[in-house]
Amino acid sequence: MTKDCVFIEGLAVITTIGVYEWEKTIKQKLVLDLEMAWDNRPAGLSDNVELCLDYAKVSQAIEHYVTHQQFGLIERVAEEVAQLVINDFSVSRVKIKVSKPGAIPAAQNVAVMIERQR
């Protein structure tokens, strides 16, 4: 099993997120960090973009999905983004951290982290 990965770090997305009623009427920022298992050797040896896990396409798909949904918990965002990455991009294993930096004024950040496999 390869230990190769493709990373997306600090992907900022604005969406409707939160469990309280007041949060359902505003937009807030989430920041996503992803570590996706991918064998980088075929792309590295061929220089062929078709063989890589295209972080631009993955980022665009996540941004589109998260922006156009309404969520309660950041845990749900993490689960659904994990399924998107696994199902739409044939990733076998993904680790995702979802941060909601504005949630707790006294805290620099709050976040959840999950790891899911196909």
Ligand X SMILES: Nc1nc2c(c(=O)[nH]1)N=C([C@H](O)[C@@H](O)CO)CN2
By CB under 6 A, the count of residues binding ligand X is: 9
Q: Does residue 73 interact with ligand X by CB under 6 A?
A: yes
Q: Does residue 19 interact with ligand X by CB under 6 A?
A: yes
Least distance (Å) from ligand X to the CB of residue 115? 17
Give the whole-angstrom CA distance, residue 87 versus residue 90: 6
Give the whole-angstrom CA distance, residue 92 versus residue 116: 8
Q: Does residue 103 interact with ligand X by CB under 6 A?
A: yes
CA 12 to chain centre: 10
Q: Is 29 a catalytic residue?
A: no
Give the whole-angstrom CA distance, residue 85 versus residue 82: 5
Could you give the residue numbers annotated as active site?
A: 100
Q: What is the binding site for ligand X (CB under 6 A)?
A: 18-20, 23, 73-75, 100, 103
